[in-house]
Each structure stands twice: as C-alpha cells, then as structure tokens.
C-alpha cells in the first residue's frame, strides 16, 4: 500500500478532510440498500448512473466486480461537489500512473448541475459518469466506522471511494 499513499496526500491537498487507504474487504456492502433505492429515492429513474438505468449491474454483480480489486481509497469531504471532483481527479491520476482499472464510486450529478439527460438522450459525459456509493449498495456509515473515519448522521459528510488496484 506504500506507493499508494500519494493518493491520500492528493485527496487532502484537494480539500478532503480525511482520506484512508484500505483493503477492499473493509468496504461494507449490503444489498438492502437496493430497497432504499428502488422504493422511495427521489432520484430513481432519473440518472444513467442509477440502478434503474438499463444495463446497470445488479448489486450482487457489482459486488463481484468490486471484490476483484484489492485496495481502495475512501474520501471524506464536507461538500458533495468537492467529493465528486476529488474522486474523479484521483481516478484520472491513478490511471496515468498505470492503474488502468482505477474507478471512482462518487456520482456524477455535479457534471450536469443535477439535470441528467436520462432517459431522453445519451449521457453527456460517458467517460466521467460514475455511480454513487448507494447505487452499488455500499454501507457508507459502517465503512467509515471500520476505517475510524468520522461520520455523523445529520451532518454534511460526503463519502466517495476510488478502487485503485
């Protein structure tokens, strides 16, 4: 994990309040979040990057993909916009460093000012569109606790993850 610590430094420099590298076993996934997406989420059927979109992998399929990685970076910010931006930047940087499968789980709503083209026309930024943590059933709260990161309900805590290798 040593060579990857540069991404921790980068996240902090870009404005994250915390950034932690961890083995992927510590990324908590719970399929019950799918119920919360499917029933009651105001964004259901509104984004190409939501589980409602055609071709979006089922949560258990997504978990299999996530578990193919070994290390991820958890990023904590106090602002959604910063969070998505930092994740994208780190993914791009890791890609340039040779981690060709680096992938951020961060959402993409800021790219389109929350006005997704779904379902009328194709995604505006297919190379940058990413799912949110909840869309792939990541338990953000339990993962934060496992990594000794701060998370308080009711506070503006935003989390994203970059799967590195």
Binding positions for ligand SF4, rule: CB under 6 A? 47-49, 108-109, 111-112, 116-118, 123-125, 129
Q: Which is nearer to ligand SF4, 124 or 142 (CB)?
A: 124
**Shortest gap between Cβ of 107 and ligand SF4 (angstroms)?**
8
Q: How far is the CB of 116 from ligand SF4 (least distance, A)?
A: 3
Tell which residue, 150, 130, 104, 142, has the closest CA to residue 27: 142
d(CA 64, CA 102): 16
How far is the C-alpha of 84 from the C-alpha of 147, rounded, in Å?
A: 20
Q: Which of 134/143 has CB closer to ligand SF4?
A: 134
Minimum CB separation of residue 55 from ligand SF4 in Å reads: 12
Considering beta carbons, is residue 98 or 122 the nearer one to ligand SF4? 122
Least CB distance from residue 26 to ligand SF4, whole Å?
Answer: 27
Which among 63, 78, 58, 93 is positioned nearest to 16, based on CA atoms? 78
Minimal distance in Å, beta carbon 109 to ligand SF4?
Answer: 5
Query: In the chain, what's the furthest Cα-to-Cα distance?
Result: 45
Query: What's 138's DSSP letter?
Result: B
Nearer CB in complex with ligand SF4: 88/147: 88
β-partners of residue 161 are 74, 105
Identify which of residues 8 and 53 has a Cβ nearer to ligand SF4 in the complex.
Answer: 53
Answer for the pair 106, 161: CB distance below 8 angstroms, yes or no.
yes
């Amino acid at each position: 994990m040593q060579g990857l610590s540069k991404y921790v430094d980068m996240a902090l420099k870009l404005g994250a309040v915390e950034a932690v590298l961890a083995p992927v076993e510590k990324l908590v996934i719970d399929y019950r979040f799918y119920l919360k997406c499917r029933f009651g989420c105001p964004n259901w059927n509104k984004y190409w990057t939501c589980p409602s979109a055609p071709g979006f992998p089922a949560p258990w399929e997504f978990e299999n993909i996530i578990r193919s990685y070994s290390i991820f970076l958890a990023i904590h910010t106090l602002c959604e916009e910063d969070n998505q931006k930092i994740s994208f930047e780190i993914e791009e940087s890791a890609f340039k460093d040779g981690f060709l499968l680096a992938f951020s789980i961060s959402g993409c709503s800021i790219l389109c000012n929350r006005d997704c083209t779904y379902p009328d026309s194709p995604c505006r930024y297919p190379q940058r569109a990413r799912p949110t943590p909840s869309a792939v059933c990541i338990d953000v709260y339990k993962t934060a606790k496992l990594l000794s990161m701060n998370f308080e309900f009711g506070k503006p805590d935003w989390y994203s993850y970059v799967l590195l290798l």
